Structure 1
Amino acid sequence: MRKLYNSYINTFRGLSPEIWWLALITLINRAGTMVIPFLSLYLTTDLKLSFAQVGWVMSAFGLGSVCGSWLGGKLTDKIGYYKVMVRSLLSTGILFVALQFLHTFASICIGIFLVMLVADMFRPAMFVALSAYSKTENKTRSVTLIRLAINLGFSAGPALGGIIITTLSYAGLFWVDGITCILATILMVNVLNPKKAKTQDSIINNNPQSAYKDKAFWIFLAAMTMFGIVFLQYFSTMPLYYKKIHNLTELEIGIILGLNGAFIFLLEMPLIKWLENTRYSKPALMVFGAILVGISFIILNVTPWIGILLFGMLFMTIGEMITFPFSNAFAMERAKRGNQGEYMALYSIAFSIAHIFGHNAGMQMADTLGFENTWYIMTLLSVICMGLLWLLMRYLKTHESA
């Protein structure tokens, strides 16, 4: 047991102190965004908005995310990742507090758009900071550590949010959300001062290439958008499938979804450490991850046995654990060719687009075509994702092997 524990701890060794601080800041920030899981409930119960209006609010949410990611990338290249991160965190905290004072449909749409515009400026800047503070050989594991922080934050956030709503009401939730963002800003200013922090990977490119002209990167982004659309079904359409088809209770659904975070926390870092030492390229590993996610959907149509739900979650989680860290590392590696903020903004936008279309498309298909046909379609999208990644490997081999 001690040997297993030591082996697990060793997978975290070699990461810079700045990466650990960045992970803690991310944990506080993500745990603080506890409004998000309760947003639709708040809009329908407290503000009495219709489902159609909530749909438009969520569209404003996704659009703000896309615009914020793009703007964050531009500003990162212009004024630097540190200033963007600090200003984004602080402004997000203030906007979260202000959001509770909006009560009309139009004002809420505008408010949510502005919150996500400012909040998601943080993402491309954080990725550039992650690249700067990581040695080349540690980049994938650094990404994995940040993912662990994000997952822990997303796990703790809803639980804390439920307690706050019960004891303080929704108004308390907005206050706590805002204060945690401000606390994350204070922590960052004190521990990640760029004048004191040690940059591990200084990238100097006198002739930067535009990400918009990088054909290989566009193939990669198309694949990641497809992957994002498929992956997001597990957090929107799949819970409905659990309840309507398999008659699971909210507690049972929560346990199955919770297994995702538990698997990631326990297994992702050792898995990534092991895969880094194999001979496979990052795109090849991403293909394998996409295959596993595709399998997680197709097996649900094979048998009505309730235990298959656990196998589906396991396949999806392992696929996610492989695809996300290596896709992130691939994007950061590719970003060295040009303006890093621009590259990482496009990477973030790929998943923002998946958020805009993925949830709604899955719901609409489940409603009109049924869950069985929806899972076949998601499997097909996984195959398209694999095809795009295979095309990426061929392109890289043909055009950049030298």
Structure 2
Amino acid sequence: MLRHYINSFSGLSKEVWWLALITLINRAGAMVIPFLSLYLTDNLNFSLEQVGWIMTSFGLGSFFGAWLGGKLSDKIGYYKVILGSLFLTGASFLIVQYFTSFWSICISFFVLIAIADAARPAFFVALSAYSKPENKTRSLTFIRLAINLGFSAGPAIGGLIIASIGYYGLFWVDGITCIIAGLVMIQTLHPKKAKELDKEIVIENPTPAYRDTTYIIFLISLALFGFIFVQYFSTIPLYYKEIHQLSEEKIGLLLALNGALIFFFEMPLIAYLEKTKISKTGHVISGFILTGISFILLLVTPWAGILIIGMIIATLGEMVAFPFGNAFALDRAKKGRQGAYMGLYSMSFSLAHIFGHNSGMQFIDNFGYNNTWIFMTSIMVLGTFLLVLVKLRVRKESITNI
């Protein structure tokens, strides 16, 4: 098993390893985010309603940033976008701590996350450039591994910083780590040093992303997948606490199970699935269905052990759907401008964050947990239908192009 795990990393370019390290530094530094609601309520004494609006401005900033990053990646190149985003995000973290009024917080966090998330589509384009075509799915999975490691380490370090020097320490550490990530990028991935490995030819007269109907349907299905998946970070923890009476410690362990499974099994799993004859959309469909099943299980029995089984199945769905969904989007971007394509891809998940958390809360408040899980399952059915439609359209396109 250990040999198979190590072999799953073989063949990845050194540029992808450096990109993963930059991502790890950046994401580990983003420790303000998990503590944002606590910072706003405990430190700035905002009401829950005000916090809700601030989080909405946060989501809107993410949406706008993804669009802007996609546009800029096509105009000035992914390298300048990522580097500019890292340095400006670092400066923004240092500045935003000095805003304390409601509207200044809304505007400053909108700008902060817009600058930060402008790098997301650029990272995808960079990953495409630094990966051989046959290694793209594993390269994407490797970057996801770095992101998960960063998100796991960040909150733990952030808790220690809050306990020792207070919330303002988070902003300083976040700002400095973003700047460090930028400096690492200058030293390791400078265009004159880094060799682009992707030799696939982009067609002339590229198709605008918004006119690629198949791609738009795919993004709608991914937004629906994101809509139900984000419940595991908002409504599901409430379900654990209110219905199953789990302590914060046990809830934390259940959520940590997600990261542990991804760390140990995602790379070998993707390396194995890449060798099968199943299409990328077929894998995304499987992941979507598995995540939907995890909600159905919550309706089957009140046994607490089902929560562990549900988390394992949902994580398996995430491990299958996200890497192959990313890979499909990158392949599709060959039809047009990569930045615009990956910008729309990032925006689809921003929409899930804007609407998913709040809608889940509203459904629980008005219809209860069981009806909410039934609704999430119906979203899975709709998303699966759209993905099947995408699969059929791609097959038709391949036949037409022969």
Please classify the TM superposition score into its range, dividing by the shorter chain length: over 0.9
| Residue identity in the other structure for 2:135 | N
Alignment of 1:167-206 (within 5 A): 167-202=164-199, 203-206=201-204
Q: Does 1:159 align with 2:156?
A: yes
Name the counterpart of 2:98.
Answer: 101
Query: How many residues are treated as equivalent by the alignment?
Result: 399
Alpha-carbon deviation of 1:88?
A: 0.3
What is the TM-score normalised by the length of structure 1? Answer: 0.98
Structure 2 counterpart of 1:57: 54
What TM-score do the two structures reach when normalised by structure 2? 0.98
Q: 1: CA distance between counterparts of 2:214 and 2:132?
A: 24
2:300: which partner in 1? 302
Q: Which residue of 1 aligns with 2:139?
A: 142
Q: How far apart in 2 are the matches of 1:398 and 1:8?
A: 37
The answer on 1:346 being equivalent to 2:344 is: yes
Match of 1:14 among 1, 6, 11: 11
The question of 1:374 aligning with 2:372 is answered yes
Q: Which of 386, 389, 392 lines up with 2:387 in the alignment?
A: 389
CA deviation map 1:42-97 (0-9, x unaligned):
00111111111111100100000010000000000000000000000000000011
Contact 2:61 2:109 in 1 (8 A): yes
Distance 1:401 1:285 in 2: 21
* Structure 1 counterpart of 2:292, one-letter code: G
Q: Which residue of 1 aligns with 2:246?
A: 248
Q: Matches of 1:305 and 1:331 in 2, distance apart?
A: 39
- Correspondence list, 1:120-135, <5 A: 120-135=117-132
What's the Cα RMSD here?
A: 0.7
Query: Is 2:268 the partner of 1:270?
Result: yes
The alpha carbon displacement at 1:367 in A equals 1.2
Q: Secondary structure at the match of 1:336?
A: helix
Look up the SS of the partner of 1:77 in the other structure: helix
SS of 1:356's equivalent?
helix
Q: Distance in 1 between matches of 2:392 and 2:10?
A: 34
Distance 1:232 1:13 in 2: 32
List aligned pairs for 1:78-89, cutoff 5 A.
78-89=75-86
Where do 5+ consecutive residues of structure 2 fail to align? none
Matched ranges for 1:217-232 at <5 A? 217-232=215-230
Q: Distance in 2 between matches of 1:30 and 1:401?
A: 42
Which whole-Å CA distance do the structure 1 matches of 2:296 and 2:98 have between them? 45
Once the two structures are TM-superposed, the CA of residue 257 in structure 1 deviates from its matched residue by 0.2
Q: Distance in 2 between matches of 1:212 and 1:183?
A: 36
In the alignment, which of 44, 50, 55 is matched to residue 47 of structure 1? 44
Task: Give, in whole Å, the separation in 2 of the partners of 1:46 and 1:390.
Answer: 48
| Matched residue SS, 2:166 | helix
Corresponding position of 1:33: 30
3-state secondary structure, aligned to 2:178: helix
Any idea what SS the aligned residue of 1:12 has?
A: coil
For the residues of structure 1 that align with 2:25 and 2:214, how far apart are their CA atoms? Answer: 35
Q: Which amino acid aligns with 1:140?
A: T
Cα distance per residue 1:283-313 (max 9 Å; x no partner): 1111111110010000111000000000100
Deviates more, 1:9-18 or 1:389-398: 389-398
Aligned AA (1:358): G
Question: What residue identity is the alignment partner of 1:268?
Answer: E
Amino acid at match of 2:219: L
CA distance in 1, matches of 2:4, 2:347: 36
Q: 1:364 aligns with which of 362, 374, 380?
A: 362
Structure 2: distance between partners of 1:272 and 1:379: 25
Q: Distance in 2 between matches of 1:377 and 1:77?
A: 39
Q: Which runs of 5 or more residues in structure 1 are unaligned?
A: none
Equivalent in the alignment of 2:353 = 355
Decide which of 91, 107, 126 is 2:88's aligned counterpart. 91
Correspondence for 2:284 among 273, 283, 286: 286
Residue 279 of structure 1 deviates from its aligned partner by 0.8
Change (3 A) 1:399 1:204: closer
Q: 2: distance between equivalents of 1:342 and 1:70?
A: 7
Give SS of 1:86's match: helix
Cα deviation for residue 398 of structure 1 reads: 2.3
| Cα-to-partner distance string for 1:244-298 (whole Å, 9 max, x where unaligned) | 0000000000000000000000000111011111111011111111110010000
Partners of 1:398 and 1:154 in 2: how far apart? 40
